[in-house]
Chains A and B, each alone.
Chain A
Amino acid sequence: MQDEYKRTFENIRMSDDRKSEMRKALENEMASAKKPAKTTRLTSGKKAGIAVAAAGVIALGTVFCIPSARNTIVAGVRALFAKEVPEDAIDAIDYEQQGREERVIPDEVLSDEEVLEQIAAQDRAIDEYNESVTVTSDYYADDEYLYELAVFYEQQGCTLFDLGKGAQIDYVENYAAKKWFSKGFTINVQVGDNAYGHTESTCVFKADEEQLHNFLDYQLTRINYERRGHDQEEVTFDELWTKDVDGEGNIVYTGSWTGPDPELKLLDSDSARFLTYEITYDPNTQIAVCLIKDGGGVG
């Protein structure tokens, strides 16, 4: 199969004319482009801070200081995770179950119960739980630091979402001069789609109500993208988001989506693809805590 596919695909390429035209356009761009100079530089103290952050991410267990004002809300969300994390950390915790594709489905004559029991025993044996604490994002009064942090996270392969613009962004260096980060940003962590696997992440950010609406609208787009991919009707903003107020006066938005059952479902535990959100917003401090559960399905 590999040879056949490779031989066939080899012949699909850009036309020489188009490639030549594109190369010329790049050369012209180089001739005219003046790379946007960074307007700010890090002080040595901040550089040290980023170095610590980089080391922390690599070592799984990053700690970033945040203003104490948000700790109350963050602590509530943190309690959802059965894990000790530093009080001053903004965190997201990823769980991944790997290796389940290697399990063997018993084919001898057994009752359904016995089959499931054997599968469960195999899963317990082969599961590798990768657990990590990842800094998501924060709102920093210091734009310079925020920008450098965004660059850092992009280099880690994270996807950044800018609240001020209400849009997902790539290649943060291009946007430095436009002050995309003056209103803060958040990070959507990797989507896990293992069978029965999922990702849980928490994003903490500061936003006024309009910015929060942009965030909700962006997530609506994300869900509708998933729905289209599964031949489901799109939903409106009001159909997705339920708004409530909790006992502490925080506004709580909840929304969720579940895809159809996987067509190659093997076990009951192979759940359908899903996305759920719970966003707690304190209008006084303008701090939003967003819990996202994402994953499931087969493939």
Chain B
Amino acid sequence: MENEAVLRLFDMYADDMFRLAYSYLGSRQEAEDVVQDVFLKLIRSDITITKGKEKTYLLTMIANACRDVLKSGRIVFVEPFDDAIEAGTDDIKDEDDGDTEMLAAVAELPEKLRIAIHLHYYEGYSIKEIADILGIATSAVSMRLTRAKEILKKYFEGGSRYAG
């Protein structure tokens, strides 16, 4: 891939890629490493990304890379956002209690549900687009979103923590 194009993609999407990786891995350092690895792969390969599909392609690469990291057992999974919640002003500026509570609730979701929620509510992807990114059926995405919302609803209604 052309060097300038890679740097342009980095400037535009590095943070979005980092957030998705962070959702998967729960570790800032691992998430940063994955983002860097993905861009190194882009530099070293002849991959051509369809115009207009850059972000989707990059997030797909991040999702694949994160799954590989998790499968390798190289890292011990840590609940995502914990450091962000604890760090307070470093990562969450001017947050109110509701925001922190939301992060905590999402952090407790199982990985599959958490990623679906992130892509849908933060990135704004449609169910079909999420299915493409994750390589699963649209019905599976719907199911994950439904389950996630059920769990979050219970969390906020009863304050119970998901134990799954």
Q: Are A101 and B142 in contact (CB under 8 A)?
A: yes
Q: Determine if A2 is an interface residue (Cβ-Cβ < 8 Å).
A: yes
With A1-B152, A22-B14, A30-B6 as known contacts, state yes or no: A8 contacts B43, CB within 8 Å.
no
Residues of chain B within 8 A of A11, CB atoms compared: 84, 91-93, 95
**Does B99 touch A at the CB level, under 8 Å?**
yes
A171 to B18, CA, bound (A): 20
Q: Are B152 and A190 in contact, CB atoms less than 8 angstroms apart?
A: no
Give the Cβ gap from A176 to chain B, nearest Cβ, in Å. Answer: 10
| With A2-B121, A14-B15, A30-B3 as contacts: A98 and B113 at CB distance below 8 Å | no
Rounded to whole Å, the gap between the CB of A20 and the closest CB of chain B is: 11
Segment of A69-77, A109-117, A192-200, A250-258 in the binding face: A192-200
Expressed in whole angstroms, the Cα–Cα distance for A7 and B92 within the complex equals 10
Residue A18, interface by CB 8 Å? yes
| Shortest beta-carbon distance from B18 to chain A in Å | 5
- Residues of A within 8 Å of B78, CB to CB, are none
Chain B residues near A29: list those with CB within 8 A: 40, 43-44
Residue of A nearest to B1 (CB): A35
Q: Chain B at the A interface: mostly helix, strand, loop or mixed?
A: helix
Q: Mark B83-103, 1 if CB is under 8 A from A, else 0.
A: 010000001110100111011
* Cα distance, A100 to B46, chains bound together (Å): 41
Decide yes or no whether B130 CB sits under 8 A from chain A. no
Which chain A residue lies CB-closest to B2? A30
The answer to the question of B75 belonging to the interface, with a C-beta cut-off of 8 Å to chain A, is: no
Residue A263 at the chain B interface, CB threshold 8 Å = yes
A12 touches B47 (CB 8 A): no
Tell yes or no: A65 within 8 A of B by CB: no
Q: Which of B7, B32, B81, B149 contacts A18 (CB 8 A)?
A: B32
Q: How far is the CB of A260 from chain B (nearest CB, A)?
A: 10
CB-defined contacts of B14 to chain A, threshold 8 Å: 14, 19, 22
Q: Are B140 and A194 in contact (CB under 8 A)?
A: yes
Contact of B139 among A27, A98, A168 (CB under 8 A): A98
Across the interface, do B15 and A5 meet the contact criterion of CB distance under 8 Å?
Answer: no
Distance, CA A97 to CA B19, complexed state (A): 32
B164 near A: Cβ within 8 Å?
yes
Contacts of A298 in B (CB 8 A): 143, 147
B122–A174 CB distance below 8 A: no
Separation of A229 and B77 alpha carbons in the complex (Å): 11
Given contacts A5-B122, A192-B140, contact A225 B71 (CB under 8 A): yes
> Are A6 and B122 in contact, with the CB atoms below 8 A?
yes
Among the listed A22, A168, A221, which residue makes an inter-chain contact with B35, where contact means beta carbons less than 8 Å apart? Answer: A22
Q: List the A side residues contacting B92 at CB < 8 Å.
A: 8, 11-12
Question: What is the CB-to-nearest-CB distance from A227 to chain B, in angstroms, rounded to a whole number?
Answer: 12
Q: Are B137 and A221 in contact (CB under 8 A)?
A: no
List A residues 191-226 near B (Cβ within 8 Å). Answer: 191-195, 197, 221-222, 225
Contacts of B161 in A (CB 8 A): none
A264 to B117, CA, bound (A): 18
Contact B122 A9 (CB under 8 A): yes
Residues of B within 8 A of A247 (CB): none
4 A-B pairs with least C-beta separation: A8-B99, A30-B3, A98-B139, A13-B15
Q: What are 23 sample pairs from A and B whose C-beta atoms fall under 8 A apart? A: A4-B98, A5-B102, A5-B121, A6-B122, A9-B103, A11-B93, A13-B19, A19-B15, A29-B43, A30-B3, A30-B6, A99-B139, A100-B139, A101-B143, A192-B137, A192-B140, A194-B139, A197-B137, A197-B139, A222-B71, A229-B111, A298-B143, A299-B143
Apart from the given pairs A8-B95, A22-B32, 4 other A-B contacts in the complex at a CB distance below 8 Å? A18-B32, A23-B7, A29-B44, A101-B139
